[in-house]
Amino acid sequence: MLQILGLIGSKWSILIIGQLRDRTLRFGELHRTVNGISQRMLTLTLRQLERDGLLTRTVHPSVPPRVDYTLSELGATLLDSVVALGEWATTHRQEINDNRSRYDATHPRQPPS
């Protein structure tokens, strides 16, 4: 259970699954569309998602190489929840940032001596 949540927990997993919502994407396309992810983390996260069977990895034996990533059926069952999470984050982003600012203002880290 903890491991399963750990998988979902990765913000990168959420973003990647969100990107594959309704289309197949290549490695480079994911790299460009997933904001701020490094090549390393993209590779590692994709491997993990593949291992868990949430997406399928298709290698086209061409030159130059081409690798496609598509949500599996299992991955698709996660879509609704993931999309909901993403929308929640977008919707309440400002509110949360405000809360953080207010909290930080009223809870000084180093109580003034």
Partner DNA sequence: CGGAATCCCGGGTGATACTG
Partner DNA sequence: CAGTATCACCCGGGATTCCG
37 binds DNA (CB under 7 A): yes
For DNA, how many residues bind (rule: CB under 7 A)?
22
What does 105 bind: a second copy, DNA, none (CB cut-off 5 to 8 Å by kind)?
none
CA distance 93 to 110: 27
CB 49 within 8 A of CB 82: no
Q: Which does 52 bind (CB under 5 to 8 A by kind): a second copy, DNA, none?
A: a second copy
Q: 79: closest CA among 69, 89, 71, 68? A: 71
In this structure, the number of other CB atoms found within 10 A of the CB of residue 71 comes to 22
Q: Closer CB to a second copy, residue 29 or residue 52?
A: 52
Both tokens of 112, joined, read 């003034």
Rounded to an integer, what distance in angstroms lies between the CA atom of residue 56 and that of residue 54?
7
Given the rule CB under 8 A, which residues bind a second copy? Answer: 1-2, 4-11, 14-15, 35-36, 50-53, 74, 77-78, 80-81, 84-86, 88-90, 92-93, 95-96, 99-100, 103-104, 107
Q: Is 43 in the site for DNA (CB under 7 A)?
A: yes
